[in-house]
């Protein structure tokens, strides 16, 4: 059973945070799905991942192509995870179910601390997931570096 890690962004952009977390996830040997709500965000992220001059190319693809199952990182708006992801990253308030948290190694939920609607969405997701018995952690970068501020054990 996995855990949901909530990332409260106050200094970093969602794209930069996803990029950092993708590197760690791939090092752990996980396939990853990044679930967003808009083509615009996923397009920006796609471009950033192609243009990583400091690290080189990060292998990934956009959902809907013939090779979705082969992608180490799949950028998608769908709930299906055809690439066999062990880690799901939710951006832009994309929905995550308790069943996904329990089935995957890790679920990362990134939200913008400057956006009140995003804060309320994340709080609702926390309540729904922990209420369903999922383990969850709340991480904040308020002090300039990531710190775990809260944790809820699986029930």
Q: Is 107 helix (H, G, I), strand (E, B) or coil?
A: strand
Confidence class for position 54, pLDDT limits 50, 70, 90: low
Confidence class for position 50, pLDDT limits 50, 70, 90: confident
Residue 100 Cα distances to 84, 91, 96, angstroms? 12, 15, 7
CA–CA gap between residue 70 and residue 82 (Å, rounded) = 9
pLDDT in tens, 68-122: 999 999 999 999 999 999 999 999 999 999 999 999 999 999 999 999 999 999 9
Q: Where are the domains of the chain?
A: 3-152
What dotted CATH number matches 3-152? 3.40.50.10110
- Tokens, residue 60: 């990934």
């Amino acid at each position: 059973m996995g855990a949901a890690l909530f990332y409260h962004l106050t200094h970093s952009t969602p794209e930069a945070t996803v990029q950092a977390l993708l590197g760690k996830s791939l090092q752990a040997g996980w396939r990853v799905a990044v679930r967003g709500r808009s083509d615009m965000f996923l397009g920006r992220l796609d471009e950033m991942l192609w243009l990583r001059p400091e690290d080189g190319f990060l292998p990934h693809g956009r959902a809907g192509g013939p090779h979705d199952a082969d992608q180490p990182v799949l950028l998608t708006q769908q709930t299906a995870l055809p690439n066999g992801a062990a880690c799901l990253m939710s951006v832009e308030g994309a929905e995550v179910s308790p069943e996904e948290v329990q089935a995957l190694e890790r679920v990362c939920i990134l939200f913008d601390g400057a956006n009140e609607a995003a804060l309320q969405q994340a709080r609702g997701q926390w309540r729904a997931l922990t209420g369903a018995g999922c383990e969850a952690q709340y991480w904040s970068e308020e002090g300039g570096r990531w710190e775990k501020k809260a944790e809820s054990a699986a029930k």
